[in-house]
């Protein structure tokens, strides 16, 4: 059995995430408390209470990272270690921490800065995203190209067969959504996000992130980490830094990434962090994959029972 850890991305957060495990396990408590100390705020309250800041990108990203890292440490202390790792967008940083590339302390500050750059890149209301269900990738790409002649829009997330997110200028996303529905897409759903992530509109954020990344130490990885932009394993620490910059303004190729991990003999995927969106994606990509998630006591118990037989 070859285990792959998958780490949640932005959008998976919810009030109360991690509270049950925070109260029961020191690994989760320490990770969340330490993130709060680094950023000078009460991270536990941010995660557990009805706090609108949980949905502000500069805070969302370290909050999800903190919870994910706590789960990573908890499973490893229970004797469950990954053979490879990956994450969705923000989750890529959690995967790099799991693989020893970035220190947890550095990653908390780095994703806070990343979130700040992303939020500043496009004025509120100017950008949008939408999930397109039941349309061919080639059709989505063709329509985005057509619409972009007036209002910029592009595929942003290739999540799984039959689901692609598009993002760009609000007018472009609206027009592409209308055309896709007219040409047979089953559904197009606007997404509640603060910006057109993973598009060229985020280049100002990518430029700032490139300068910021130079301040941090990247160590050799202990396990392969698969990147969103190329869908393959990172080759070097220089490769990682370059692709983290690209990732902010390039489509996430989650579907291809999972297929490559399976080709490289991943048999069991464990999603760590809030929600089970990635688990659902993996099942749609390959029905034979063994998939589980950990976000509370119930899912932790189920995962431990399955992996420690």
Report the catalytic residues. 89, 198
d(CA 186, CA 3): 34
Contact 198, 90 (CB under 8 A): no
Structure tokens at 39: 């950023």
| 269 bridge partner residues | 4, 291
Helix axes 104-121, 237-248, angle to 10 degrees: 30
Other C-beta atoms lying within 10 Å of the C-beta of residue 182: 9
| CA distances, 73 to each of 32, 118, 198, 280 (Å) | 12, 28, 29, 23
Q: What are the phi and psi torsion angles at 205 (to 5°)? A: -70, -40
d(CA 278, CA 282): 6
Contact 294, 271 (CB under 8 A): yes
Contact 82, 98 (CB under 8 A): yes
| 39 bridge partner residues | none
Q: What is the CA radius of gyration of the chain?
A: 18
* Contacts (Cβ under 8 Å, ≥6 apart) of 35: 43, 62, 63, 65, 66, 108
Q: Using the 8-state DSSP alphabet, how is residue 233 labeled?
A: B
């Amino acid at each position: 059995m070859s285990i792959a850890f998958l780490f949640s991305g932005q959008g998976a957060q919810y009030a109360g995430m991690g509270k049950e495990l925070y109260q029961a396990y020191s690994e989760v408590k320490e990770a969340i408390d330490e993130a709060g100390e680094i950023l000078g705020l009460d991270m536990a309250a941010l995660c557990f209470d009805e706090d609108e800041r949980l949905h502000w990108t500069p805070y969302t990203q370290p909050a999800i990272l903190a919870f994910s890292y706590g789960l990573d440490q908890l499973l490893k202390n229970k004797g469950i270690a990954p053979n490879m790792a990956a994450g969705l967008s923000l989750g890529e940083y959690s995967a790099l921490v799991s693989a020893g590339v970035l220190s947890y302390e550095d990653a908390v500050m780095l994703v806070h800065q990343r979130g700040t750059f992303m939020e500043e890149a496009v004025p509120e209301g100017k950008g949008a995203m939408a999930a397109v269900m039941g349309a061919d990738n080639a059709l989505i790409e063709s329509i985005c190209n057509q619409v972009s002649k007036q209002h910029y829009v592009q595929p942003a997330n290739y999540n799984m067969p039959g689901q692609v997110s598009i993002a760009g200028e609000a007018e472009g996303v609206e027009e592409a959504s209308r055309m896709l529905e007219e040409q047979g897409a089953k559904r197009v759903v606007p997404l509640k996000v603060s910006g057109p992530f993973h598009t060229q509109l985020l280049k100002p954020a990518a430029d700032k992130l490139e300068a910021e990344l130079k301040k941090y130490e990247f160590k050799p990885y202990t396990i392969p980490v698969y990147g969103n932009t190329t869908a393959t394993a990172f080759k070097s620490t220089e490769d990682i830094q370059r692709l983290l910059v690209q990732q902010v303004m390039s489509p996430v190729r989650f579907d291809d990434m999972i297929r490559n991990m399976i080709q490289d003999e991943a048999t069991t995927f464990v999603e760590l962090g809030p929600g089970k969106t990635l688990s659902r994606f993996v099942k749609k990509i390959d029905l034979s994959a063994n998939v589980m998630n950990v976000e509370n006591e119930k899912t932790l118990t189920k995962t431990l029972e399955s992996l420690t037989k």
